């Protein structure tokens, strides 16, 4: 066994989160794609079965009250809240990330004053955010201006209505400076909208602490909610009374069962709701969130950085230097929980890695992406992944 493999064993033995892995269904594969689809928590199948057989099958319509279906969006929002540094009553779960970006951006523009007609958006964002931002701009009479996050402070001005940024870049794994960018947006009188898809559950976000205005995120990556599990919307408490959703469905009405023809928005985070929530996906997510019991996000972050440091060290040792180049920042304060390696034949390399039991993913056109989920990925996994990568690249 190599020096690094031995060190990995030691690091795993000392890992305070090592036991959390048992809360998941895993096999011999090194699964480094939890930033795309989180692994299955072991207790989720039983809970889903209860939702289907008993709650739907036996109680049927009564479950809207008796099984707590109706209040699931805000209840699960409150369960996610501590993971992203939010007090209760500010998050609702439901709809896809794209739909929530739309609610947030149109809502953001409506929260700002007259004369503010420009939306700034991260030019390297996950594409859907850019497409939806373009639609929100078009429908609200705004101009959309794509730019690098670092250019945001200089671009802010009296015309800026809203700024949509990713906390962690989906491709490079770069962590953007949420506290200072949020402060700059606020100082300019604009509204900040953060996309937390690649940070929630991987590192501390601190929504309340840093005064973020609006945020959205998915739940199927580091939150392990299952394929296509519903996304969430955070609306800072002080902004809730003024939040004017472009999707005012009956679930966000002050009196949803009053069946009134006139719309009156519910108080608080509830006004982020739209239509009937998809209960099966939502309650699978609720169950999945229990793996976080007793797990501090700070510990997850510490392990994530240690894992990615170690993986980088192993890649440097094992992989031919001219074959891959790391595009994820080395500085901890600029790194999310993934390592992205540029590689000319990345698509082919990832296929071969997967055949050999190391699952990451390929991002067009030339990126190998390895996500590190500290809840169930260990140091021996990191060492093995780098070793197999080295073998594939060297062969």
> Where in 205-234 is the site for a copy of itself (CB under 8 A)?
218, 220, 226-231
Question: Using the rule CB under 8 A, which residue among 102, 311, 318, 370 binds a copy of itself?
Answer: 102
Question: Using the rule CB under 8 A, which residue among 282, 291, 307, 353 binds a copy of itself?
Answer: 282
Binding mask 126-165 for a copy of itself (x = CB under 8 A): xxx-xxx-xx---xx-----x-------------------
What is the closest distance, in whole angstroms, from the C-beta atom of residue 380 to a copy of itself in the complex? 19
Q: How far apart are CA 393 and CA 319, in angstroms?
A: 7
Of 250-279, which residues contact a copy of itself (CB under 8 A)?
A: 250-251, 253, 257-261, 263, 274-279
What is the closest distance, in whole angstroms, from the C-beta atom of residue 48 to a copy of itself in the complex? 5
Question: Using the rule CB under 8 A, which residue among 17, 21, 63, 289 binds a copy of itself?
Answer: 63
State the Rg of the chain over Cα.
Answer: 22
Does the protein bind a copy of itself through residue 347 (CB under 8 A)? no
Q: Tokens in use for 197?
A: 């898809």
Q: Which ranges of 197-296 would DSSP assign to H, the alpha helix?
A: 279-288
**Annotated active-site residue in 103, 171, 221, 384:** 221
Binding mask 14-53 for a copy of itself (x = CB under 8 A): -----------x-x---x-x--xx-xx---xx--xx--xx
Q: What is the largest CA-CA distance in the chain?
A: 72
Is-catalytic flag, 369? yes
Helix axes 3-14, 379-394, angle to 10 degrees: 150
CB 381 within 8 A of CB 314: no
* Known binding residues for pyridoxal 5'-phosphate: 97-98, 126-129, 195, 198, 220, 250, 276
CA distance between the termini of the chain: 21
Q: How far is CA 347 from CA 55, 156, 343, in A?
A: 44, 38, 9
- Give one DSSP letter per residue of 19-63, joined into a string: GGGGGB---SSEE--TTTSPPPBTTHHHHHHHIIIIIITTSGGGH
Residue number, 182 or 219, with CB nearest to a copy of itself: 219
What is the closest distance, in whole angstroms, from the C-beta atom of residue 352 to a copy of itself in the complex? 15
Residue number, 33 or 381, with CB nearest to a copy of itself: 33
Binding mask 68-97 for a copy of itself (x = CB under 8 A): -x-------------------------xxx
Q: Report cis status (omega within 30 of 0) of the bond before 281.
A: no
Report the 10 Å Cβ neighbour count for 19: 8
Question: Using the rule CB under 8 A, which residue among 68, 204, 206, 248 binds a copy of itself?
Answer: 248
Is-catalytic flag, 220? yes
H or E element that contains 380:
helix 379-394
Q: Catalytic positions, please?
A: 126, 195, 220-221, 369
């Amino acid at each position: 066994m190599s020096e690094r493999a031995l060190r990995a064993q030691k690091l795993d033995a000392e890992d305070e989160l090592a036991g959390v892995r048992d809360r998941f269904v895993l096999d011999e594969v090194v699964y480094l794609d939890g930033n795309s689809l989180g692994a299955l928590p072991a207790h989720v199948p039983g809970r889903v079965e209860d939702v289907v057989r008993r709650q739907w099958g036996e109680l049927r319509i009564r479950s809207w009250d008796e099984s707590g279906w109706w209040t699931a969006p805000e209840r699960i929002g409150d369960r996610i809240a501590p993971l992203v540094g939010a007090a209760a009553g500010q998050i609702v779960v439901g709809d896809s990330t794209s739909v929530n970006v739309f609610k947030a951006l149109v809502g953001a523009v409506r929260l700002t004053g007259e004369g503010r007609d420009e939306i700034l958006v991260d030019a390297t964002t996950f594409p859907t955010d850019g497409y939806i931002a373009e639609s929100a701009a078009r429908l609200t009479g705004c101009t959309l201006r794509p730019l690098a996050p670092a250019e945001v402070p200089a671009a802010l001005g009296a015309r800026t209505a809203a700024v949509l940024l990713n906390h962690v870049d989906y491709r490079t794994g770069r962590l953007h400076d949420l506290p200072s960018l949020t402060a700059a947006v606020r100082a300019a009188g604009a509204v900040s909208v953060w996309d937390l898809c690649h940070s929630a559950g991987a590192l501390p976000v601190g929504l309340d602490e840093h005064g973020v205005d609006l945020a959205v995120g998915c739940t199927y990556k580091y939150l392990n909610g299952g394929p296509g599990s519903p996304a969430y919307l955070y609306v800072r408490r002080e902004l809730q009374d003024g939040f004017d959703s472009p999707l005012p469905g009956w679930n966000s009405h002050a009196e949803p069962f009053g069946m009134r023809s006139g719309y009156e928005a519910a108080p608080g985070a509830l006004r982020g709701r739209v239509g009937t929530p998809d209960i099966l996906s939502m309650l699978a997510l609720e169950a999945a969130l229990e793996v976080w019991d007793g797990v501090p996000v700070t510990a997850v972050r510490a392990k994530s950085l240690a894992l990615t440091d170690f993986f980088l060290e192993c890649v440097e040792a094992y992989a031919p230097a001219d074959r891959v180049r790391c595009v994820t920042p080395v500085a901890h304060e600029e790194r999310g929980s993934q390592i992205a390696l540029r590689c000319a034949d990345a698509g082919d390399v990832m296929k071969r890695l997967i055949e050999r039991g190391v699952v990451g993913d390929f991002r067009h056109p030339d990126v190998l992406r390895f996500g590190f989920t500290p809840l169930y990925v260990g140091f021996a996994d990191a060492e093995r992944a780098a070793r197999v990568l080295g073998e594939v690249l060297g062969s």
